[in-house]
Structure 1
Amino acid sequence: MDTRHQVAVLALDEVVTFDLGTPTQIFNAARDEDERRFYRVRICTPGGRPVRTSAAFTLVPDHGLELMAEADTVIVAGVSYGARVLADGTLEPQVLDALRAAAARGARMMSICTGAFVLAAAGLLDGRRATTHWAHSDNFRELFPNVDLDPDVLFMDEGDVLTSAGVGAGVDLCLHVVRHDHGSRIANLAARRCVVPPWRPGGQSQYIVRPIPDEADTSTAPARAWALEHLDESLDLRVLAAHVRMSVRTFTRRFREETGVSPAKWIIQQRVERARHLLETTDLPVDQVARQSGFGTGAALRQQMSATLGVAPSVYRTTFRSVV
């Protein structure tokens, strides 16, 4: 009997090929040092029919929608027609029914990029937070006003329903799921096998098309690199700006243009990630984790983790140390 977590990837006409390949690549790379695999990933289409891809070739699947009836996780790959998902009747009723049935029986539902349009059309995102490619956010809001769309994040985790931003953000989402299911060690191994970063800071705001900065401006990257080496110290904005020879005002503006968030929010994100890593990989007391990650006290760490992750450090450690 195959005890692996069963993943069904739904491909519709005009499926985005990168989105389609991402779950297969990431989840198949999620295995331990003994090459034991944790997931089985298969692709399905309506009626098991061939579908055209956005790359102008035809995909011939091995499975129909019945695959979703037995999957532990269902992933909707992005479709290039995006906002036309409702306008021209492209989405077949049996697709919506299959998605609703999978969600009703407790399958984890996910989308990559414009796959969020499909989940929303099935009513699975109503009243929830979600994201999609930033370029389609206006159309999404117009079609689905009952969804709390956040176009600034790389992915959104609502527990049983998860959505990601455009294309590459599907990698971030799938690694996040592996990390949730099996801990950071397995997720980091999968990332290493795929030669991608285990996680990326910031949101998709940093990828939105913006005017070219003044030539006099330089990148804030050196300051960010220095900050990552000194997260346990006080990181004054003036000190960071001085590292790249900018005024505080210019530094703050360029920082937001490059990362999509303010310096203060970015620092908190990095400190939370440092704390998560220490909680998952060491037995350090919470107060020491707090000091090494730059929060100073256990109380401050607990406040930040509760605000950003919804759990206390001790609960987080128990959860992620026990699943590896």
Structure 2
Amino acid sequence: MHRIVVLALPRFVLFDLAIPGQIFDGGLRDHAGGPRYDVSLCGLEPGLVESSAGVPIGVAHGIRALRAADTVIVPGKALPEEPVAPEILAELHAAHARGARIAAICTGAFVLAQAGLLDGRRATTHWANAARLAASYPEVRVDPEVLYVDDGEILTSAGVAAGIDLCLHMVRADHGVEVANHSARYTIVPPHRSGGQAQYIERPVPENVGGSLEVTRVWLTEQLHRPVSLADMAAHAHLAERTFTRRFRAETGISPLQWLQQRRLDHARRLLETTDATVDVVAARSGFPSTLALREHFRRVTGTTPGQYRSAFLTLSPPSS
């Protein structure tokens, strides 16, 4: 079982701390009915740790629990630039050195930066704190625009709900799209938002129901098997192309074609995980113009080939609940 240890530091953000327990538990069970993850909390020492909301949380483990972790998650802190105990920084370094995956939610990135784990790396944090992170740690390549950054063994996310996206992304990396979607359905959140999606969306809630392009987005998910142009999308929404593009980006943070390409790749991944269709068939059913186009896009986004992905994630049956 994959062991996840969430590090509770003084004045941690309560919401951030709750995310990993919800997502990585999230009703996820393997085919034998057992949990896929073991999630535990640790602090510098066992005992009560005060949250930023003033609610104390009891942690059963001290900092040495990080030594057994496959993944370490650092939630955000109310005072991100407050110095962290040297023992904690040393344990984070040691966990990274032995190959543990290290992730930070929101201002937890400041803790990883203090530990020197973000030097020379691209990272993100809540947009309101990005400038402070960049000024305090000039060796870190801070990207204030994105929801999360996966830099291999080190991952960081923007604030609040972006922590959900980050944790779902890790489930996807560990167990594939179907299992991650199961966790998302159980938690009643959208199954996937790309890390490259913008943190700040101009109009996250439409001014009125009739103003939303959700109907067109649903329609697009039903057209993944065929080519769809920007003109087709705009026509479905009964809008001029420029107006449609502007409103689509305002609602989602990315362009219509980027959004559609993400849905095509998700569909291809799901087919690779759950069917024995050839890669040629997967490409056609997902709307890619050719098998080569699927392979190139797949490798660019996932770092692997469709065949290697299938070998890792093919189940041919839905995940156990």
TM-score (norm 2): 0.89
Aligned: 1:273 with 2:271: no
- Over 3 Å counting, the alpha-carbon distance change for 1:265 and 1:40 in structure 2 is same
Q: C-alpha separation between the residues in 2 aligned to 1:73 and 1:201?
A: 21
Corresponding residue to 1:132 among 125, 149, 154: 125
CA contact (8 A) 1:8 1:68 kept: yes
Structure 2 spans left out of the alignment, 5+ residues: none
3-state DSSP of counterpart to 1:106: coil
Give how far 1:203 is off: 4.8
1:25 to 19, 22, 29: 22
- Alpha-carbon distance between aligned partners in 2 of 1:259 and 1:62, rounded to the nearest angstrom: 40
SS in structure 1 of the partner of residue 102 of structure 2? strand
Query: Is residue 259 from structure 1 mapped to residue 252 from structure 2 by the alignment?
Result: yes
Q: Secondary structure at the match of 2:152?
A: coil
Aligned to 2:176, the other structure's residue is in SS state: helix
RMSD of aligned alpha carbons: 2.5
**Residue 244 in 1 paired to residue 237 in 2?**
yes
Q: Which amino acid aligns with 1:286?
A: V
Pair 1:137–1:48, CA change in 2 (3 A): same
> How many residues get paired?
315
Change (3 A) 1:185 1:311: same
Equivalent of residue 34 in structure 2, options 17, 36, 40 = 36
- Aligned residue runs from structure 1 range 19-98, under 5 A: 19-29=16-26, 30-32=28-30, 34-82=32-80, 84-85=81-82, 90-98=83-91
Q: Percent identity of the aligned residues?
A: 49
Deviations 1:180-229 (A, max 9, x none): 223334333333332333323575526445699999x9333222221111
CA distance 1:145–1:174, change in 2 (3 Å): same
CA distance in 1, matches of 2:142, 2:203: 21
SS of structure 2 residue aligned to 1:46 = coil
Higher mean C-alpha deviation, range 51-60 or range 16-25 = 51-60
Residues 27 and 178 of structure 1 are in contact (CA less than 8 Å); yes or no, is this contact kept in structure 2? yes
Checking the alignment, whether the CA contact within 8 Å between 1:14 and 1:79 is kept in structure 2 is yes
- TM-score (ref. length: structure 1): 0.88
How far apart are 1:243 and its partner, in Å? 1.9
The alpha carbon displacement at 1:117 in A equals 1.3
Shift of 1:49: 4.6
Residues 303-322 of structure 1 correspond to what in structure 2 (within 5 A)? 303-321=296-314
Contact 1:203 1:259 in 2 (8 A): no
Q: Is the 8 A contact 1:15 1:77 kept in 2?
A: yes
Amino acid across the alignment from 1:321 = L
Which of 4, 17, 25 is the equivalent residue of 1:7?
A: 4
Unpaired segments ≥5 residues, structure 1: none
Pair 1:156 & 2:154 matched = no
State the Cα distance separating 1:33 from its structure 2 match. Answer: 5.6
1:152–1:260 Cα contact (<8 Å) kept: no
Q: Which moved more, 1:229-238 or 1:32-41?
A: 32-41
Contact 1:31–1:189 (CA under 8 A) maintained in structure 2 = no
